[in-house]
Structure 1
Amino acid sequence: MRFSDMLYQRVDFEKLKKDFYGLYDAFSNARSGAEQFEVHQKYYELTDHAMTEMTIAEIRHDINMSDEFYGAEQDYYDANRPMFQNLIVRYQKMLYESEFRPYLEKKIGPVAFKNIELATKSIDEKILPLMQEENALQTRYNKLLATAKIDWEGDTLNLSLMTPHMRDPNRQTRIKAWNKFSSFFTDNQEELDDIYDKLVKNRTTQAEKLGYKNYLTLGYYRMNRNCYGRSDIQQFRKQVKHDLVPYAEKLHEKRRARLGLDTLRYYDEDVYFKSGNPSPTGTPEEILAAGRKMYNELSPETGKFMNFMCDNELFDVIGRKTKKTGGYMTYLPDYKSPFVFANFNGSSGDADVITHECGHAFQGWIVADDPIREHADITMETAETHSMSMEFFTEPWMNLLFGNRAKDYVDMHFEDSILFIPYGTMVDEFQDICYENPALSPKDRNAVWRDLEKQYKPHLNYAGNKYYEEGGFWQNKHHIYDSPLYYIDYCIAGTDALQYKVWMDQDYKSAWESYLKLCRLSASDFFTNLIKDVGLINPFEDGCMRYVVKKLDK
């Protein structure tokens, strides 16, 4: 069904609550594992429908954040989603403690039961008011950024629409654009500090009420880290600092020389060529058409997927002034439909939507008929492996998107994939420190960020920008406010994607077969097992990063 034809009806949470209580009774009264599994299938229907309605409302709100109707719906779900989550956790706890668990575990899989264990540790009725407050704070942050109005050359632009100017080949234009961009954050620094300070304290209080020392334990549970922990991520960070940062710095130096600059400054960070970064050719409609041709040529599976997406209006990618910034892929269970949201702005990021977000969407589409819904509950490092690897698998078709600058894009994408990992790992360590030390003042947090920049990006030069010199750059990163502890998943996945890059350069067909297998496995097994099963090295394993760098450096 086309997205525009999908009818929306507000979820009645009182009715939903009654339906869940009926579900609890039916599950308790079931006399066998088979009967309980029949109840469980009704649970799928109940939760899928509620999630579909909430997701439709969220998408339509994000498409136009000035829309009063869907703004009110978003506020309604911010207030009621914690109650919905609590109803789910209560049901899952019954599933977890069932006397017929061996039968159910055989049907649903051990990963689902481990995830239930983590879910029961991450929510309780006593923290629902705090979760509601957390949702409202996140919405406040997003509204603040979405309503940014930046005066540019007689026009009024939002933050997303400033991106092309911040990457302009003319350095003076970039400086002007970056000054305008950072001025928005400088002007709103006090509010941004207040929102984050309240988020840290709110999340810390949630954790303490559940009996944890700080939010890190609770945050890892909420991220469904079901087969690795904080020590594994600490080991990964060490590999990044020791093995990848020196290689990344070599690439920064190579880029500085290519640009003919004496020093790389912060406003040069996103520029790769003197003539400017390659940009997709054509209108948004033509870019989507090029993506359709690309996926139809890549494989039969990707062709069917992209035709389905285009025919059913499952992309909203045109940047508009009242649209939420950023991009994502989400899923509408009732319609078995992924949905891709983005803000095309004329930069190479437009192509990334067709590769990265479609990597997510393709995986969701290819397992849409899996009768076990828990298999869709993939952890984020696995999900990002699907998307970031697709960026590399689609490289042979970049001429469709970039014309005679296809090679420039491929080279830029390769360098950017390397250079991102130190930054993303730094974002994670910053959050780790903030939640381990929730009493830090805003000034202290900025000092932490600036110190980490010197470890992960030693070349970075903020001369002339006091706000960034004092450590304020982190405030434009949505994940730090919206999705705590998520960002490291991109880095873990990026390491997997680089392994696929090495592999496909040697044998594209076998690398693609491995990738397709990974997509189809979904969440039927734990991440560390999935990676091994498809022939990749576990990123937490000492020596993994060293191996990747050695192969890529050649």
Structure 2
Amino acid sequence: LVAQLHQLFTELVQLRHQVALNAGFANFRDYMFAALGRFDYTPEDTFNFHAAIRATVVPLIDEFDDARRRALALSTLRPWDLDVDPSGKPPLRPFQTGEELLEKTITVFQRLDPFLGQCLTTMRQMGHLDLESRKGKAPGGYNYPLDETGVPFIFMNATSSLRDVVTMLHEGGHAVHSFLTRRLPLSADKHPPSEVAELASMSMELMSMDHWDVFFSDPAELRRAKKTHLEGVLETFPWVATIDKFQHWIYENPDHTEAQRHQRWTQIFQEFNQRSVSWSGLEKFRPYLWQKQLHLYEVPFYYIEYALAQLGAIAVWRNFRQDPAAALAGYQQALALG
């Protein structure tokens, strides 16, 4: 199966390169920057962004990993050590049912601004929410705008985890964006590029944290939830840089061999990730880690947007911590533009 996947990806690279040549571009990367409408940043800008992440964020992640190693009383971290709670605590359970998740999220939104809570209340009244996981249900989670009514639909698979809370808040941010743009005369203006769309959702995750006591009445659990989420926010950056830098190399070198692909992936992965983690005895598996990122197969060059939006969301959160009312007003005014 792995060999088939690699062959499939090689064929995709070749076909995409030919598409770019047919359209008059030197490579598929340049073609996609034009196709995605990236008129305000260039490949060179993304390279500088990668370098900034490596210089400023990666050392923080190294500190997190070292603290984890000490907490686990280990001499060296192994890959599986990154996915356990260092103190041995069970997973957080912030809600039991989809209705409880929705009710608590509405409360959080209302505390921030009554308008935000009303957005989700309207969706509930119209039956525009499908939150609980069930047998046979499609995976994933998303907010789907509906232009005719202006009231979007949220789909997700809640299973009583912290991740589900963040997903609901995230998709709720998208939903608020849909409500704020529903009166725009041009439908195209209601569907902004991902750099802006994800800013709406990621900012909501962070601004809402002041009210997570709705989900976590125990102060220790509340602190643990916030710490886990903020660490995850920072960990987003190195992985996005890894995937994006790898894509640039792939399409700048469309005739590369599978062995060269393995080698280059490993180099880039080590540049940004798990620098204090031992892969001894597992070296043969590391070159395949990129396979888990479906974007590389399905939506090439759609990934750097997550890091750009996350950086913007951190700036919105900084403003919120300095002046909540002004930050929320600015957030809504910006989103209302489309």
Q: Tell me if TM exceeds 0.5.
A: yes
| SS of alignment partner, residue 394 of structure 1 | helix
Deviations 1:311-342 (A, max 9, x none): 22323333345444333222222332322232
Instruction: Give 1:214's match in structure 2, choosing from 27, 43, 68.
Output: 27
Task: Return closer, same or farther for 1:209/1:382 CA change in 2, 3 Å cut-off.
Answer: same
**1:215 deviation in Å?**
0.8
The match for 1:230 is: 43
**1:462 deviation in Å?**
3.2
* Matching residue's letter, 2:37: N
Paired residues of 2:95 and 2:161 also in contact (CA < 8 A): no
Paired residues of 1:281 and 1:403 also in contact (CA < 8 A): no
Task: Pick the structure with more helix per residue.
Answer: 1
Task: Return closer, same or farther for 1:223/1:474 CA change in 2, 3 Å cut-off.
Answer: same
Number of corresponding residues: 334
Q: Report 1:107-506 matches (<5 A).
A: 188-274=1-87, 275-320=89-134, 322-404=136-218, 405-457=221-273, 458-469=275-286, 471-506=287-322
The match for 1:521 is: 337
Deviations 1:513-536 (A, max 9, x none): 2222221222xxxxxxxxxxxxxx
> Which blocks of at least 5 consecutive residues in structure 1 are unaligned?
1-187, 523-554
Higher relative contact order (CA 8 A, sep 6+): 2
**1:302 deviation in Å?**
0.5
Distance 1:231 1:441 in 2: 25
Task: Return closer, same or farther for 1:261/1:329 CA change in 2, 3 Å cut-off.
Answer: farther
Deviations 1:377-430 (A, max 9, x none): 312111111111111111022122234212211111111111211111111111
**TM-score scaled by structure 1?**
0.57
Deviations 1:475-520 (A, max 9, x none): 1112222221121111111111222333323322222222222212
* Matching residue's letter, 1:374: A
Task: Return closer, same or farther for 1:479/1:468 CA change in 2, 3 Å cut-off.
Answer: same
| SS of alignment partner, residue 276 of structure 2 | coil
Distance 1:446 1:318 in 2: 39
Task: Return closer, same or farther for 1:464/1:492 CA change in 2, 3 Å cut-off.
Answer: same
| SS of alignment partner, residue 148 of structure 2 | helix
Distance 1:343 1:467 in 2: 34
| SS of alignment partner, residue 95 of structure 2 | coil
Task: Return closer, same or farther for 1:367/1:485 CA change in 2, 3 Å cut-off.
Answer: same
**1:350 deviation in Å?**
0.6
**TM-score scaled by structure 2?**
0.91
Distance 2:277 2:64 in 1: 13
Task: Return closer, same or farther for 1:432/1:297 CA change in 2, 3 Å cut-off.
Answer: same
Task: Return closer, same or farther for 1:198/1:325 CA change in 2, 3 Å cut-off.
Answer: farther
Distance 2:277 2:144 in 1: 35
Distance 1:332 1:497 in 2: 25
**1:269 deviation in Å?**
2.4
Distance 2:9 2:156 in 1: 25
Distance 1:350 1:485 in 2: 27
Paired residues of 1:281 and 1:402 also in contact (CA < 8 A): no
| SS of alignment partner, residue 216 of structure 2 | helix
Task: Return closer, same or farther for 1:445/1:414 CA change in 2, 3 Å cut-off.
Answer: same
Distance 2:257 2:17 in 1: 15
**1:226 deviation in Å?**
2.3
**1:239 deviation in Å?**
0.9
Task: Return closer, same or farther for 1:332/1:267 CA change in 2, 3 Å cut-off.
Answer: same
Return 311-320 or 424-433, whichever deviates more: 311-320
Which structure has the greater CA radius of gyration? 1
* Matching residue's letter, 1:205: Q
